[in-house]
């Protein structure tokens, strides 16, 4: 019996939206109620070019080209990898291209977790949740950019998960490329209650695959069950686990062993679903899917928390989501934060909350985008309505003062599914 992410927002969101109708096909730039923020649709998926972008985006630091994945659609129905190239001089339209369509089985399928990109912008790394020649337990792959325009990206299968409790099954996060060590890290779900793994391999040719953490096999000091992705800084692996001795953990892991930096208990957060991010001073920031003030989220331990932990200090709760008592607030953050290094402002998204009332989240809400600083000053800067992007998911990109992201829902009606739409890629100018 395979186990994926417990309490995943994706499952209930998919079911709750099963009977909703389509929305407008074309959406002009929109303004927030305050008139200061503008959202522009860059692409609306139509199933043939992919659908339900959940993993979010990465950006080529040299060209500004965006890359992402869709776990469904693409002709075969097995998912895609896509690119969006910034407008050429004198034009306003971003150029969308499907750069790879998965074939299923040995080729892999359902690239749900997003991508990593190398500093040169010539290689993308990702995972599929199913497919392989072994047990349909998922894969790790690389896509190499062609040397000449018009040629296809070259795909290399780096690893096929076997389902063995030591190897792992069903990758649970986007891979992380440590540019300092030139190693690729990732996490998997569990099989037979094994609790998931952290793995490492070479991004050059996929060799030297090694599980560096597995609680079922006593590999590494115990830091929790079901790791939700990792980041690496100065040779130290930081990550979160969905559960364990607490309602989730924040941990670090290195050659000297692993240790729990913080165990979430509910009021300070519960059940993280994304990896932390690391600031220039070593401060860790992240979110939890639940936790905070139960009064603000009936029948749960809270609507979610944004937190930080400075080096040598205890975890600090920066904001407790309060959708039921503050209707314009967000709920259940499950996308990694992104940091504006110049101002110290953090950006995040929630798939539920806000004043939109036409989507499948709690109360019909459609999700939000928010900002928060290191002192906890929190502000919702966008509330998603019907007719445009709805239910933001996955990794955000902040570049040159502009925020980019994906929505799991909204946009064009989806011919093979009964949601509001097939999903979108959007640009938000704060």
> What integer is the mean pLDDT of 318-330?
93
Alpha-carbon span 378 to 401, nearest angstrom: 18
Q: Are 196 and 189 in contact, with CB atoms under 8 Å apart?
A: yes
Residues near 63 by Cβ (< 8 Å), separated by ≥ 6? Answer: 85, 86, 121
pLDDT of residue 266: 95
* pLDDT of 135 higher than 90: no
Nearest to 197 by CA among 209, 188, 185: 188
> What integer is the mean pLDDT of 204-231?
91
pLDDT of residue 160: 93
Residue with tokens 């928390």: 305
pTM for the structure as a whole: 0.90
pLDDT of residue 252: 96
Alpha-carbon span 418 to 48, nearest angstrom: 16
Q: Are 100 and 126 in contact, with CB atoms under 8 Å apart?
A: no
Q: Which residues pair with 234 in a beta bridge?
A: none
> What integer is the mean pLDDT of 307-331?
94
- Phi/psi-derived region of residue 63, left when phi > 0, alpha when psi is between -120 and 50, beta in every other case: alpha
How many helices and strands, by DSSP H and E, does the chain display? Answer: 1, 33
pLDDT digits (tens, 9 = 90+) for 263-306: 999 999 999 999 999 999 999 999 999 999 999 988 889 999 99
Alpha-carbon span 131 to 343, nearest angstrom: 42
Residues near 9 by Cβ (< 8 Å), separated by ≥ 6? Answer: 273, 289, 332, 334, 351, 352
* pLDDT of 423 higher than 80: yes
pLDDT digits (tens, 9 = 90+) for 31-53: 444 457 899 999 999 999 999 99
């Amino acid at each position: 019996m395979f186990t994926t992410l417990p309490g995943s927002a994706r499952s209930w969101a998919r079911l709750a939206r099963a009977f909703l109708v389509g929305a407008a096909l074309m959406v002009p730039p929109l303004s927030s109620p305050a008139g200061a923020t503008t959202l522009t649709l860059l692409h609306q998926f139509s199933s043939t070019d992919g659908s339900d972008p959940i993993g979010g985006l990465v950006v080529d630091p040299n060209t500004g080209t965006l890359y992402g994945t869709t776990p469904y659609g693409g002709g075969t129905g097995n998912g895609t990898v896509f690119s969006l190239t910034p407008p050429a001089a004198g034009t306003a339209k971003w150029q969308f291209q499907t750069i790879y369509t998965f074939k299923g089985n040995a080729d892999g399928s359902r690239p749900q977790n997003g991508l990593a990109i190398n500093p040169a912008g010539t290689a993308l790394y990702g995972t599929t949740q199913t497919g392989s020649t072994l047990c349909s337990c998922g894969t790790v792959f690389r896509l190499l950019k062609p040397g000449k325009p018009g040629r296809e990206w070259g795909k290399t299968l780096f690893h096929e998960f076997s389902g063995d409790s030591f190897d792992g099954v069903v990758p649970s996060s986007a891979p992380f490329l440590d540019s300092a060590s030139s190693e690729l890290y990732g996490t998997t779900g569990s099989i037979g209650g094994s609790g998931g793994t952290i793995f490492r391999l070479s991004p050059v040719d996929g060799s030297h695959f090694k599980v560096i953490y597995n609680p079922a096999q006593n590999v590494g000091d115990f830091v929790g069950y079901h790791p939700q992705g990792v980041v690496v800084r100065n040779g130290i692996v930081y990550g979160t686990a969905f559960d364990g001795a607490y309602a989730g953990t924040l941990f670090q892991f290195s050659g000297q062993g692993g240790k729990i930096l913080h165990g979430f208990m509910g009021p300070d957060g519960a059940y993280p679903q994304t990896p932390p991010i690391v600031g220039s001073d070593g401060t860790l920031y992240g979110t939890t899917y639940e936790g905070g003030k139960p009064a603000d989220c009936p029948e749960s331990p809270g609507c979610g928390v944004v937190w930080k932990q400075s080096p040598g200090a205890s975890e600090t709760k920066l904001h407790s989501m309060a959708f039921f008592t503050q209707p314009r607030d967000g709920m259940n953050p499950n996308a990694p934060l992104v940091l504006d290094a110049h101002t110290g402002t953090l950006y995040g998204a929630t798939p539920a909350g806000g004043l939109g009332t036409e989507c499948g989240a709690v109360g019909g809400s459609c999700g939000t985008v928010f900002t928060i600083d290191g002192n906890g000053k929190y502000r919702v800067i966008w509330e998603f309505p019907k007719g445009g992007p709805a239910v933001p998911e996955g990794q955000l990109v902040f570049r040159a003062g502009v925020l980019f992201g994906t929505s799991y829902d909204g946009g064009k009606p989806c011919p093979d599914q009964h949601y509001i739409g097939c999903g979108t890629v959007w640009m938000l100018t704060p």
